[in-house]
Amino acid sequence: MTMAHTPEIEAAMEKFAAILEEQNIRIEKMKKEKDFVDYSKLDKIIIGVCGGDGIGPAITSAAQKILEFLLADEIAKGKVEFKVIDGLTIENRVAANKAIPDDVLAELKACDVILKGPTTTPRAGDPWPNIESANVAMRKELDLFANVRPVKVPDQGIDWTFYRENTEGGYAVGSKGVNVSDDLAIDFTVATSDGCERIARAAFEYARKNGKTKVTCVTKANVIKTTDGKFLKTCQEVAKDYPEIELDDWYIDIMTAKLVDPKRRTGFQVVVLPNLYGDIITDEAAEFQGGVGTAGSANIGKRYAMFEAIHGSAPRMVLEGRDKYADPCSIIRAGVMLLSHIGYQEQADKLERALDICMYEEKKLQITGRDTGCTGMEFADYIMDTIKTL
Ligand code: IPM
Ligand code: MG
C-alpha cells in the first residue's frame, strides 16, 4: 500500500504528469520528422522578415535591403521571395496574451527561413504580463533545435562554432515550473534521446563538412547526472560515426574558465552543449569578438530556420527617436548565415567580407547610436557599395 500524499504533493504530481505527457508527444513528433530541407529543390524560397520590437524594424529593414541586393537575380527569376511580417511586437503579444499571436505564427510557418529582429522579453517589474519569450516560443514552435553561434577573432587564433541545443534542457518547460507549496519551488530540465542525438549529429556534420578535427561536448554530467549524462553519452555514441573527428569532454565550469586562457582557448573548434550552458557561454564567447552586438545567430531545424541578432530591442533608443541610428551589423551577420544556409555561399562570403571591411578595416562610416554617427541605412548602403568593389 502506498502512503497518501499531501494535497500539495498530489497537485504537483498532476502538473508533473501533464509535463511528461507533453514531452512524450514531442518525442513522437521528433521520431516522425523528415530530413533537412534541400533548398535547391524548392521551387521558391520564401524569406520572412520579422522586425520584432524596438529598434528591430529599423535594423532588419537595413539587412533586408542588402539581402535583396545580393539576391536580385534570384528574386527576378522567382526563386526567392521576401515577405515582411509585422506584428511580432510586445503590444500585440500582450493583447493576444501569447508569446506569438496566432496570425503571426501562421505567417511565419508560411516561410522557409526567417530573418528576425529582437523582441522584448517581459521580466519582473515590467509593465507587461509575464508572457513567454517570443524567441523561446519560436524555437519551440518551429522546432529550431540547433542554435549555431560562430565567434571569430582571427588575430588571436579564435575560431569557434557553438552548437547549442535549443529546445530542451532548462528551457523545455521553463515557464512550467511548480510552486509545490510556499516553501518549495521545482523546475524541470529535459533531455530526450532524439533531442540529444540530432544536436550531436548536427555538430559532427558541421565539423566534417568544414574540415574541423575536434568537437568538444560541454556538460555538468558529474552533478546533473541524468539529463547531462544522457547528453554526453549520446555525443559519445554519435562520435563513433565520425572516426576522423576527435571528441573531447569538458565540464561547463572549467570550460568557462578556459575560454579566457589564451593558451588553451585556441584549441576549441566546434562546441556542442545543452541549452542553458550554451546560452551563457555564447555571450562570454561573443565578448572576445566585441560583444553580443557583433555576433549573429542561426536557429536551425529540419523544416524551418531562423536567423537573428543576439542583442536586445533597445526600447530607449526608440523613445529618444534614435532607432534609425541603431547598429544593424549583428542582424546583417545573421544575414550572412541565412545566405549560406539556403545555398548562396558566394553571396554569403561577399557579405561577410564587406562587413569586415566596413566594420574593422576601412571604417569610412561610424555608427554611434546617435546623430553623431551615420544611420543604419547609410551603413547598409556603404556595405552594398563595398560589395560592388569585390
Ligand atoms: C539568447 C537570449 C534568449 C535565450 C532570451 C532572450 C530568452 O538570451 O538568444 O541567447 O535565453 O535564449
Ligand atoms: Mg542569451
pLDDT tens digit string along 285-325? 999 988 887 788 999 999 999 999 878 899 999 999 999 99
Give the chain's mean pLDDT.
Answer: 95
- pLDDT of 175: 82
Q: What pairs with residue 147 in β-bridges? A: 164, 299
Q: Quick check: CB of 219 below 6 Å from ligand 1? A: no
More confident residue, 110 or 121: 110
Closest atom of ligand 1 to 312 CA is 6
Kindly give the distance from the C-alpha atom of residue 75 to the centroid of ligand 1, in angstroms, as a whole number: 32
What's the pLDDT band for 124 if we cut at 50, 70, 90?
confident
286 lines ligand 1 (CB under 6 A): no
Ligand 1 pocket member 310 (CB < 6 A): yes
Helix (H, G, I), strand (E, B) or coil at 50: strand
Is residue 203's pLDDT more than 80? yes
| Residue 95, pLDDT above cutoff 70 | yes
What's the confidence (pLDDT) of residue 1?
54
Q: Which residue has the cell 530540465?
A: 189
For the domain made up of 147-291, the CATH class stated in words is alpha beta
Q: Are strands 45-50 and 80-85 parallel, antiparallel or unpaired?
A: parallel
Average pLDDT on 106-114 reads: 98
pLDDT of residue 37: 95
Asked if pLDDT for residue 3 goes beyond 80, the answer is: no
- Of 353, 371, 306, 301, nearest to 60 (Cα)? 306
pLDDT tops 70 at residue 225:
yes
Model pLDDT, residue 325: 96
Q: Is 133 in the pocket of ligand 1 (CB under 6 A)?
A: yes
How many Cβ atoms from other residues are within 10 Å of residue 210's Cβ?
10
Domain locations in the chain? 37-144+301-390, 147-291
Q: Work out the average pLDDT over 159-188.
A: 94
- Residues 345-360 have a mean pLDDT of 95
Domains 37-144+301-390 and 147-291 belong to one CATH topology? yes
Q: State the Cα angle at 304 between 298 and 310, rounded to 5°.
A: 25
Tens-place pLDDT, residues 357-367: 999 899 999 99
pTM of the model: 0.93
214-219 β-sheet, strand order = 80-85, 45-50, 113-116, 305-309, 296-300, 146-153, 158-165, 270-273, 214-219, 246-251
- Pairwise CA distance, residues 129 & 124, whole Å: 9
Q: Is the confidence at residue 224, as pLDDT, over 70? A: yes
Instruction: Summarize the confidence of residues 5-33 as an average pLDDT.
Output: 96
Tell whether domain 37-144+301-390 is in CATH 2.60.120.1440.
no
The pLDDT, as a whole number, for residue 319 is 93
